[in-house]
Structure 1
C-alpha cells in the first residue's frame, strides 16, 4: 500500500489514534491528518477537569509528543477545515484553497457544542467548553469570588462546577429537567450527585428554564429564568450537549442519521470512506441498537477498527463501552450503556464513610451496565461480566461482604 493515501479529517483522539494504528498495522503509504485547530492531537476529557483547574499544562494534553508524528511520517495539516468531498474524484477541498487526493478517507470531525437558543446568548461572557482555546478564556472566570452561572446539569456542567468551587468561585448550576444527568443516568445516581454538589456549596436550580441572558455594555450579567427569577453572575458557561459534525458527509451524499452511518468496520455508505468518533452512528454490539457514543474509549475503538479494515488486518475485539467523570473527590466509572435495564440494584458498604458504592443495571437477570463511584474493583469486575453477558447472583451482587472478584468468578463459571 505504498502508493495509497489516507486522509483523516479531524485531528482529535479518534483521528490521532487512527493514524497511529495505521502505522502499527503496517500501512506504509501516505497519511495526512488534518484538523481545524492549531494544536496537534490532544485529549479533551482533561479540559473540564485537570486543565481547567490548572493542575496540568497544555503539553500534558498531547496524545503523543508533537515530534513523534513526524517520526511516524504522519503529515499534520493544522488550522485547516475540509469544505467539500468529491467522491468521484476522491478528493477533499480545504478552506485554504488546497485539494488533496485520497485512496481512503476517514472522517473524524467529532462534534460541536449545542448553542443556547435564547436572547442574549451572543453577549460577551457567555462561554462554551470544547477546545483548549475555550478553556484558556474560561480560566479567567474561575477565580475566587466570581459567580458563574452554568446552564446544563450534565457531566460537563457538573465537572465545571466542581472545579469552580475548588478554585473559590461560586457556581450556580441551572438545569431544565427535574433532575441532574437526566439523559444519561438513573434517578438514584442523579440524586446522589445533587446531594454531593449541594453539600459542597454548589447552588443547583432544577426545572429551571432559561428565558434569556441579560447584560449591560455588551456583557452578560444575569440569567433570566422563565419563572421571572434572575441569577446574577459574572459569566455564563453553557453545557447543554453537542451536535455531530456530519454536514460535510451529508453534502457528499453519505448516509447520515444521528451521525454518519457506519457498519461494524466503521465504513460509510461509500466503501472508500470511514467515519469514527463522536460523528459516527453505529450498531452497538452490546445494545443491538444504532447509537452515537460520545466517549474516548469508543473513539479509540472505532479508530482501531477503521485502521484494521484499511490495512486488511484482523479487527480487534469490540470493547464494552465505558465512560468516566471526576467531580470533587468522586470518580465515577460507568461500564455498559443504560436504557434497556428492568432492574437497578445498589451495592454499598455498611459504613457510609467508606465513600464508595455501585449501581448495577440488569435486564432479564443479565448485567448490562454499572455506575461505580470510587469503586475501581467493582468497575473492572462489572466490565468483564457485561462483556460475557453474565447473570450474577443478585444476593451476592449487592452484598458488600462478598468480594466483587468472587461475584465475577461465580458469574463467569471460573
Structure 2
C-alpha cells in the first residue's frame, strides 16, 4: 500500500497495540498513529484483577510492547490523547485540543469502562471500580489496609477481586442482584458451583439483593444499605456491575450501533473505511451465525490481525470461537464457545465438581455442543473447540464419561 496513506487507531489497549503490530507485519509502510487515552504504554488487562492485584506481576510484565518497539516501527503513539470524535465524511479525528487528524482508514479500539451505580454514596472516595492499572494499584493498597470490603456485583471482576481479598484474610461481602453469581454468563448450574466455591472460602455471598445506597459519614463510605433495610459495614466498597462499551463517538459519527458497533465478518463497520475491534465490536460471526460481542482478552488479542487485513484491502474473516479464562482461589477455568442468555441449553458435566476438576458442556436441543468449560482440567480446549465446530450431535452419556475420549 502507498506510503502516503495514514491509518489511525482510536484506543490504547491490547487491541490497539496488536493492530499496530499487524499493520507492520502486513508490510504497511504508511503512517500509523495510535491515540491512547492512558499515559501508560498499551497493556493487557486480565492481570489487573489477578496477578497484579496479588503482587506477583508488575506493569512491565504485561505491557504489550516497549516504547522502543513503537519507535523502531515508526508508530506515532500518542499517550494521554483520547480522541473525542471522528467524521467519516471528512475522514478526520478530533483531538482533545480541538485540532483534527486526517485518516485514510480508521480503527476503533476504544474498549469499555465500568458501569456506574446511580445510588447515593457512589461518589465517595473509598468507593472503587477496576479498569486501569491505576485502579488496580489503588485496590491493592486498599486490600492491604482494610479489613472489611463490600463488593457490589458477582461477575468476573467482582469474584476475582473477592478471591484476592480473601487471600489477604479480608472480610468480604459480595452483593448480587441475580439469584446466582455469573448467571448470565454461565447459567444456574455453574453459577451454583461458583457460589459454593466462594462461600467455602469465607465470602459472605448474598444473592437476590438490591442495593439502596452506600452509607457515608463525613463523605466517606461506611457501609451499604440494602432495599430491605439491612446494613452491611464496610471500610471500602468495590462497584463491579459490568462494563459499558465506549461507542459514543461511533454513534455520533453515524455508524450502525446496537449494544456495540456493528461489524461484519471482516470487522468492517457500516463505513467501509472504519473497522472496530475488542469490547466494542458486535460482529456478525461467520461460524456462530449470530451477532456476538465478547468483552474478553482473547478478542482484543486476535481480532486486530483480521482488522488490519481489512484495512489493507485484503480478504479477511474473524471466525474464532469466543474464549475466556478466570482464576479464583485454586480454581482455574477456560471457556470456549458461546451461549446466548435466552438460548435453550442443558449442561452435561464430565468429572467431579466436588473435587473442582471437571469439564462442563452446554448442549442445544439437538444435543450439539455449543460451549465447554474446563475447570482445573488442561489441554482440552482444542478438543472442545473441535466438538463445537463439528456441528454434530453427541451422546450425552458418553460425553459425561471420563473414560470416553473426547
- How far residue 144 of structure 1 moved from its aligned partner, in angstroms, is 6.3
Structure 2 partner of 1:85: 86
Deviation (angstroms), 1:74? 1.2
Structure-2 residue corresponding to 1:236: 237
- Shift in Å, 1:384: 2.2
Q: Do the aligned partners of residues 145 and 276 (structure 1) sit closer, same or farther apart at CA in structure 2, a change above 3 Å counting?
A: closer
Equivalenced residues, count: 402
Deviates more, 1:338-347 or 1:58-67: 338-347
| Structure-2 residue corresponding to 1:366 | 368
Question: Which residue does 2:347 correspond to in 1?
Answer: 344
Residue aligning to 1:392: 394
The 5-angstrom pairing of residues 189-200 of structure 1 reads 189-200=190-201
**Structure 2: gaps (5+ residues):** none
- Describe how 1:312-331 pairs up with structure 2 within 5 A: 312-315=313-316, 318-331=319-332
Aligned counterpart, 2:138 = 137
Structure 2 partner of 1:208? 209
Counterparts in 2 of 1:294 and 1:46: CA distance versus 1, 3 Å: same
Alignment deviations for residues 103-155 of structure 1 (CA, whole Å, 9 cap, x no partner): 10101101111001101111110000000111111112112661110000111
Deviation at 1:316, TM superposition (A): 5.7
Q: Which moved more, 1:335-344 or 1:48-57?
A: 335-344
Q: TM-score, normalised by structure 2?
A: 0.95
Q: Any conservation in 2 of the 1:26–1:311 contact (CA below 8 Å)?
A: no
- Residue 48 of structure 1 deviates from its aligned partner by 0.5
**Mapping for residues 12-27 of structure 1, pairs under 5 Å:** 12-27=13-28
Between the aligned partners of 1:145 and 1:212, the Cα distance in structure 2 is: 21
- Cross-structure match for 2:265: 264
- CA–CA distance in structure 1, aligned partners of residues 268 and 316 of structure 2: 13
Segments of structure 1 that go 5 or more residues without pairing to the other structure are 408-414
TM-score (normalizing by structure 1): 0.94
Give the alignment of 1:149-228 within 5 angstroms: 149-228=150-229
Matching residue of 1:95:
96
Measure, in 1, the Cα distance between the counterparts of 2:374 and 2:145.
32
What secondary structure, in the 3-state scheme, does the structure 1 residue paired with 2:244 have? Answer: strand
**Is residue 256–residue 262 contact of structure 2 (8 Å, CA) maintained in 1?**
yes
Q: Is the 8 A contact 1:144 1:167 kept in 2?
A: no
DSSP-derived class of the 1:325 partner: strand
Report the secondary structure of 1:63's partner residue: coil
